[in-house]
């Protein structure tokens, strides 16, 4: 059987994107979007992938000439395509000069990254003369400086790491390296005026290589990738920047905005809030996956009540947008190709509940002067789960909740950020 690079001829395009990260997520998210954009005729550009750590998939990707299959699967069906937008993959640990040479190409306009949440971090051990610096921001600073010295314009940077204000954080660290390495005021000015560090929010479950399945293709593909249908990319930045990468004009769920926070709040409250609300109750009732909860009529009714009757009424985005998003969340929960274990989501449930669910409870009470029944049921189940179930959290937190009365648990400001004693009777009612 032919390999994928023998089966498919890759078109030649100018290189316009530098991508830090060769893992499944970016290949099933940003590269898949770039493919859609190229296929539409609205754009013609490819991505050069940079391997951000010493061990990675660069060699395997190059062995296939950057080609791979992406399969989208869900209740909507199955969609298979070959992604041909990666021109090449560079490992800076093996060929640092090839990496630095990227600065010389004026066609490069975008830098996309996904180096995990720990990737956007400052490393005091990094030096300008390292070949390469260990951290992603360190590598980026050296590349930016080379480009500055050549007198070229900067980049539009779209970090996809799952941290709050990822663009601002990345810029802050780059500026710190520039100062620490004494690269000059002119370079710092160039960073600030010639580059756009955009905060972004990304959302798609990319399930990667299906190791436990046999996928039949007409060729050999060792970089096969899979994902769900749903995708969302919210980019906080100048709307005019989207004209250079018009993803939103080709039917992709890409939103350019001057304020990311409502979308982050929507995701945290609806998607993550629904997860965190269902987990303790689901596990106490013997369910093991998100889909098993969705397939149970009683649990499904509870989840819908949480989302549609109690969370959505506390949010201020347009109602139709919220309903559409909530329906997409339920479809994602029902995806038969994704096994999302409740025990995985249960990790650190107290801190998750504080961020994801408690704000909806308090806002609901503020707006309607009544506690939301389903979310209070979730709160009661959370306490019961820590007292009688199998929680996975800080040892001190688990020991405290297991032994303390509910009034004392809710009064603990370290757990909830405030005194919740006024909810004691309601939580006790649902916990019992």
pLDDT by residue for the chain (432 residues), tens only, comes to: 999 999 999 999 999 999 999 999 999 999 999 999 999 999 999 999 999 999 999 999 999 999 999 999 999 999 999 999 999 999 999 999 999 999 999 999 999 999 987 899 999 999 999 999 999 999 999 999 999 999 999 999 999 998 999 999 999 999 999 999 999 999 999 999 999 999 999 999 999 998 888 899 999 999 999 999 999 999 999 888 899 999 999 999 999 999 999 999 999 999 999 999 999 999 999 999 999 999 999 999 999 999 999 999 999 989 999 999 999 999 999 999 998 999 989 999 999 999 999 999 999 999 999 999 999 999 999 999 999 999 999 999 999 999 999 999 999 999 999 999 999 999 988 886
Nearest-5° Cα angle at 71, 329 to 229: 15
Place of tokens 């399969």: 71
CA distance 386 to 280: 9
Question: Rounded to two decimals, what is the model's pTM?
Answer: 0.89
Q: How far apart are CA 53 and CA 318, in angstroms?
A: 42
Domains and CATH numbers, the chain: 4-258 (3.40.50.720), 262-431 (1.10.1040.10)
Distances (CA, A) of 170 to 29, 59, 100, 194: 20, 27, 19, 15
At residue 178, the 3 state secondary structure works out as helix
CB 293 within 8 A of CB 282: yes
């Amino acid at each position: 059987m032919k390999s994928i690079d023998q089966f498919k001829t890759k078109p030649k395009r100018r290189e316009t994107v530098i991508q830090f990260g060769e893992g499944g997520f970016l290949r099933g998210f940003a590269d898949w979007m770039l493919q859609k954009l190229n296929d539409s005729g609205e754009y013609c550009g490819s991505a050069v992938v940079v391997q951000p750590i010493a061990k990675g998939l660069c060699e395997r990707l190059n062995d296939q000439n950057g080609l791979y299959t992406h399969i989208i699967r869900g209740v909507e069906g199955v969609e298979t395509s070959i992604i041909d937008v990666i021109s090449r993959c560079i490992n800076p640990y093996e060929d640092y000069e090839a990496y630095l040479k990227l600065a010389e190409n004026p066609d490069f306009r975008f830098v996309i990254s996904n180096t995990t949440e720990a990737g956007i971090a400052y490393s005091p051990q990094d030096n300008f003369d390292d070949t390469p610096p260990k951290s992603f921001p360190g590598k980026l600073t050296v590349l930016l400086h080379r480009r500055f010295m050549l007198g070229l314009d900067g980049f539009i940077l779209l970090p996809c790491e799952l941290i709050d204000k990822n663009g601002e954080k990345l810029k802050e660290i780059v500026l710190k390296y520039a100062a620490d390495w004494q690269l000059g005021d002119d370079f710092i000015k160039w960073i600030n005026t010639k580059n756009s560090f955009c905060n972004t929010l990304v959302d798609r479950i990319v399930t990667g290589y299906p190791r436990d399945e046999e996928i039949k293709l007409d060729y050999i593909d060792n970089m096969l990738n899979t994902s769900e249908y749903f995708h969302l990319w919210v980019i906080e930045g100048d709307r005019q920047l989207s004209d250079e990468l018009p993803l939103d004009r080709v039917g992709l769920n890409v939103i350019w905005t001057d304020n990311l926070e409502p979308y982050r709040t929507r995701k945290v409250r609806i998607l993550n809030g629904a997860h965190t609300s269902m987990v303790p109750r689901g596990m106490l009732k013997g369910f093991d996956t998100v889909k098993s909860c969705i397939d149970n009529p009683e649990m499904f009714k509870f989840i819908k009540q949480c989302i549609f009757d109690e969370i959505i009424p506390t949010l201020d985005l347009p109602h139709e947008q919220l309903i559409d998003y909530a329906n997409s969340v339920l479809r994602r929960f029902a995806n038969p190709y994704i096994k999302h274990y409740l025990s995985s989501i249960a990790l650190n449930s107290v801190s998750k509940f504080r961020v994801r669910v408690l704000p909806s409870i308090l806002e609901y009470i503020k707006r309607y002067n009544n506690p939301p029944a389903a979310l209070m049921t979730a709160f009661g189940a959370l306490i019961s789960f820590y007292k009688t179930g199998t929680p996975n959290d800080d040892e001190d937190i688990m020991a405290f909740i297991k032994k303390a009365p509910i009034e004392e648990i809710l009064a603990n400001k370290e757990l909830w950020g405030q005194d919740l004693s006024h909810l004691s009777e309601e939580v006790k009612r649902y916990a019992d």
